């Protein structure tokens, strides 16, 4: 019985890291920094209305000037210098640091099994060679989750290469700056639906019954990665500074950490075994000739779920931010 496809929904969640990201509101942080630096001069044009009197001669029969005056409100423009605290506009990521990785963590689930099990009994009176084929289908899964990111800046894509083993190379991408922090793994070029199989022969003596099986379990490879984002911004009009970097020249005050986890769940190599099944020898009838395959009840092929019991650490190779 092929149970591997039944595991797809279970295995898809093994490599997922659903921890809620801790996002820094960089808009609020930067504005608080500007507030702490105090006000700067801002010279700008102001317009105000002032009264102005106009007089003219009104025609009259004596041809003398009969002066008529009226007062109107007119706009007068002048310059004025105020003390203002600049506001950060168009906050953006100008660069990120190369991605660094913690040691690779490999977690094996040997008790969460996908099994193909077949039983045979030799109902003849001679020894028979029986060919046995076993196979289990498995669905790989990959994920990237941010645990520390930034919001309220323009959107920025942090991309990098990840090679957890010699068998895999993936492209990871994390979206920074938006209200919804998210990540993705490009698995193109990698076969995500695989089959672990075994083909062998067994020599069955007369009346002998055997069980042959192949077992496969999930193995998750995951790494925590780290980067940092350097920000800049435009400033509202003032007489001294145009950009955030003009007034906050210390980059460390404009740098924010980025942390996440990237993972893939793969199948173990198939573990094969055979053993005698003396209880099955009674299935032979007088009409049976040669080797008979015994239908395996579903209760004999189970998926067991337990906590991971094997964890190892492997020092990673350094990957540069791309």
* pLDDT tens-digit map of 123-176: 999 999 999 999 999 999 999 999 999 999 999 999 999 999 988 899 999 999
Q: Is residue 104 part of a domain?
A: yes
141 and 49 housed in the same domain: no
298 band by pLDDT with thresholds 50, 70 and 90 = low
Show Cβ contacts of residue 270 under 8 Å, excluding neighbours closer than 6 positions: 134, 136, 196, 197, 198, 214, 215, 216
101 and 189 housed in the same domain: yes
46 and 136 housed in the same domain: no
Last residue of a domain, one of 60, 80, 100: 80
Give residue-wise pLDDT tens across range 172-202.
999 998 776 678 999 888 889 999 999 988 9
pLDDT at 13 over 80: no
281 band by pLDDT with thresholds 50, 70 and 90 = low
Across residues 13-20, what is the average pLDDT? 39
193 and 298 housed in the same domain: yes
**In whole angstroms, how far apart are CA 21 and each of 17, 40, 100, 227?**
10, 36, 19, 15
Question: What's the pLDDT score for residue 183?
Answer: 86
| Cβ neighbour number for residue 140 with a 10 Å cutoff | 20
pLDDT at 263 over 70: yes
7 band by pLDDT with thresholds 50, 70 and 90 = very low
68 and 181 housed in the same domain: no
Q: Which residues of 230-267 are buried (b: 16+ CB within 10 A; e: fewer)?
A: ebbbbbeebeebeebbebbeeeeebebebbbbbbbbbb
Last residue of a domain, one of 29, 60, 80: 80
Bridge-based pairing state of the strands 141-151 and 22-25: parallel
Give residue-wise pLDDT tens across range 35-72.
999 999 999 888 888 888 878 777 766 667 777 788 88
Last residue of a domain, one of 56, 80, 104: 80
Q: Is residue 319 part of a domain?
A: no
Question: What's the pLDDT score for residue 27?
Answer: 93
pLDDT at 226 over 80: yes
Count of domains observed in the chain: 2
The three-point CA angle 268-170-137 to 5° equals 30
Q: Is residue 107 part of a domain?
A: yes
93 and 122 housed in the same domain: yes
The burial class, CB within 10 Å (0-12 / 13-18 / 19+), for 268 is middle
What's the mean per-residue pLDDT of the chain? 83
312 band by pLDDT with thresholds 50, 70 and 90 = very low
How far apart are the C-alpha atoms of 268 and 110, rounded to whole Å?
9
34 and 114 housed in the same domain: yes
pLDDT at 77 over 90: no
DSSP letter string over 140-209?
Answer: -EEEEEEEEEEESS--EEEEEEE-SSTT--EEEEEEEBSSS-EEEEE-TTS--EEEEEEEEEEEE-TT-E
First to last CA, the chain: 45
Across residues 207-233, what is the average pLDDT? 95
118 and 181 housed in the same domain: yes
Q: Is residue 55 part of a domain?
A: yes
306 band by pLDDT with thresholds 50, 70 and 90 = very low
pLDDT at 14 over 50: no
Question: What's the pLDDT score for residue 10?
Answer: 34
pLDDT at 261 over 90: yes
> Which of the 8 DSSP states describes residue 211?
E
- Sheet with 114-122: strands ordered across: 271-276, 209-216, 114-122, 291-294
Which range of residues forms the domain containing residue 297? 4-38+85-314
- Pick from 193, 187, 183: nearest CA to 261: 183
The burial class, CB within 10 Å (0-12 / 13-18 / 19+), for 113 is buried
CA 86 to chain CA centroid, nearest Å: 35
Q: Is residue 17 part of a domain?
A: yes
pLDDT at 229 over 70: yes
Across residues 211-226, what is the average pLDDT? 95
Question: What's the pLDDT score for residue 42?
Answer: 94
How far apart are the C-alpha atoms of 94 and 99, rounded to whole Å?
16
Question: What's the pLDDT score for residue 49?
Answer: 84
Question: What's the pLDDT score for residue 109?
Answer: 95
pLDDT at 11 over 50: no
Q: Which helix (H) or strand (E) holds 36?
A: helix 26-37
| Cβ neighbour number for residue 151 with a 10 Å cutoff | 17
220 and 108 housed in the same domain: yes
Question: What's the pLDDT score for residue 280?
Answer: 65
pLDDT at 82 over 60: yes
204 and 232 housed in the same domain: yes
Q: Is residue 281 part of a domain?
A: yes
The burial class, CB within 10 Å (0-12 / 13-18 / 19+), for 109 is buried
222 and 146 housed in the same domain: yes
Phi then psi for residue 110, to 5 deg, are: -70, -15
Question: What's the pLDDT score for residue 285?
Answer: 86
pLDDT at 208 over 60: yes
Percent of the chain with pLDDT over 70: 83
- Pick from 168, 50, 159: nearest CA to 106: 168
Q: Is residue 299 part of a domain?
A: yes
151 and 181 housed in the same domain: yes
Q: Is residue 206 part of a domain?
A: yes
């Amino acid at each position: 019985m092929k149970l591997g496809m039944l595991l797809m929904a279970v295995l898809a969640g093994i490599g997922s890291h659903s921890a809620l990201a801790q996002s820094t509101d960089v808009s609020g942080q930067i504005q608080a920094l500007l507030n702490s630096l105090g006000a700067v001069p801002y010279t700008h044009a102001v317009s105000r209305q002032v009264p102005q009197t106009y007089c003219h001669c009104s025609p009259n029969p004596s041809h003398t000037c009969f002066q008529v005056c009226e007062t109107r409100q007119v706009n007068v423009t002048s310059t004025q210098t105020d003390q203002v605290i600049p506001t950060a506009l168009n906050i953006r990521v100008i660069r990120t640091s190369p991605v660094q990785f913690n040691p690779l963590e490999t977690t094996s689930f040997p008790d969460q099994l996908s099994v193909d099990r077949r039983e045979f009994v030799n109902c003849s009176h001679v020894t028979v060679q029986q060919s046995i084929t076993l196979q289990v289908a498995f669905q790989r899964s990959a994920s990237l989750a941010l645990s520390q990111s930034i919001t309220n800046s323009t959107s920025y894509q942090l991309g990098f290469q990840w090679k957890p083993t010699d068998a895999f190379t993936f492209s990871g991408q994390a979206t920074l700056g938006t209200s919804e922090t998210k990540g993705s793994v490009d698995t193109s070029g990698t076969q995500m639906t695989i089959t672990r199989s075994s083909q062998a022969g067994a020599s069955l003596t007369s009346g002998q019954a055997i069980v042959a099986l192949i077992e496969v379990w999930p193995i998750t490879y995951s790494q925590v990665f780290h980067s940092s984002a350097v920000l800049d911004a435009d400033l509202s009009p003032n007489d001294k500074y145009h950009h955030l970097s003009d007034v906050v020249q210390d980059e460390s005050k404009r740098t924010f950490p980025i942390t996440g986890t990237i993972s893939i769940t793969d199948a173990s190599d198939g573990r094969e075994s055979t053993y005698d099944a003396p209880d099955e020898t009674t299935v032979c009838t007088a009409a049976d000739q040669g080797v008979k395959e015994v239908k395996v009840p579903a209760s004999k092929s189970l998926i067991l779920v337990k906590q991971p019991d094997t964890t190892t650490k492997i020092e990673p190779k350094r990957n540069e931010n791309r």
